[in-house]
Amino acid sequence: MASVRTIPLSLPWLDEREEELVADVLSSGRLSLGPTIDRFEEEFAAAVGAPYAAAVSSGTAGLHLLCITAGVGPGDEVVTSPYSFVASANCAIYEGATPVFADVERRTLNLDPAAVEAAITDRTRAVVAVDIYGLPCELDELRALCDDRGVALIDDACEALGARYKGRRIGSQGPPAVFAFYPNKQITTGEGGMITTHSESEWRLLRSLRNQGRADSGGWLEHARLGFNYRLDDIRAAIGLGQLEKLDAILAARAAVAASYAELLGSIPGLDLPCADDDDHERSWFVYVVGLPPGADREAVIARLAERGVQTARYLPCIHLQPYMQERFGYRVGLCPVAEEMSARTLALPFHARLPVDDQRYVADALHDALR
């Protein structure tokens, strides 16, 4: 009988440095709206090459706020990817708008610019483009399309911290972008996110909206506009600072694990591996997702891997086929055929920066056996 061990889907890279920085905040007594937030924002902005960054409580909160600054409201439409986490579409619904789904490219799993163009109508207010699994979307094509139609472009980079598009890190190109820090992301603060922008006026508005609509010059109980409690606290910001210090090491380690997986899994017949980088797209490895061979029984594969202690996840269910989306908007199978096909075949394997090589081999062997 094959040996069994437990291999978790993901693990954050945390050590004594984060503990030290959190202890400094605790001893300072400034647990929220303190100087650690400002420092985290400044260092994050520098890391991605953006002039302004605003920390928020989650990537979802960041996407919501950017829909507000884009002017999204009732009766509007927001075009986005069906192959993403639900927040990419929910951010539009929060403001009374309708999410419209454009299909993805089979190779990259990112939005197909031609499908986006076909989905834009005179009601479209924004496009939420997703850098799925850390691979940059076709940013220049989408930006040109949005500029031509007078539509706002929002970059959902929640999975793409450290990725590069045409040689520059995501966040530096101009469109506002959102990053997320859930524990499975490249860096984590437990919960939390960051918005980057190249507009000082938008940055100031975002800082007000996340803080109950308070204005910079107002008092604690003076509210200039309707806002939200989307603040990030200083304890999480301290964790983020420690994570930023090791960002390059984390990115390099994740890339090394991905390269090892590619070698170990490359001989499995019919298995689709993540597409390789090219001159314009340098992935920041968030998860390692494979496409099972056509006709493979994914549920049986998942069950066989679970018997070997290998954790997996069905990445990603199509957003438009989630029950609440079908009930509320009437979306049905067939709307986005490429996304639907790939969604039924893709599977996330255990992946994190410090996944031992021996565990990688174990996962590869277990997957190979499960597919026989």
Q: Which residues are catalytic?
A: 185
Query: According to DSSP H, which parts of 220-322 are helical?
Result: 234-245, 247-265, 298-307
Q: How far apart are CA 209 and CA 196, in angstroms?
A: 15
Read off the tokens for 172. Answer: 């530096």
What are phi and psi for residue 253, nearest 5 degrees?
-65, -40
Dihedral class, residue 225 (left if φ above 0, else alpha if ψ from -120 to 50, else beta): beta
25, burial (CB in 10 Å: exposed 0-12, middle 13-18, buried 19+): buried
Q: How far apart are CA 339 and CA 332, in angstroms?
A: 13
Q: How far apart are CA 43 and CA 21, in angstroms?
A: 15
Q: Answer yes or no: are the C-beta atoms of 196 and 45 closer than 8 Å.
A: yes
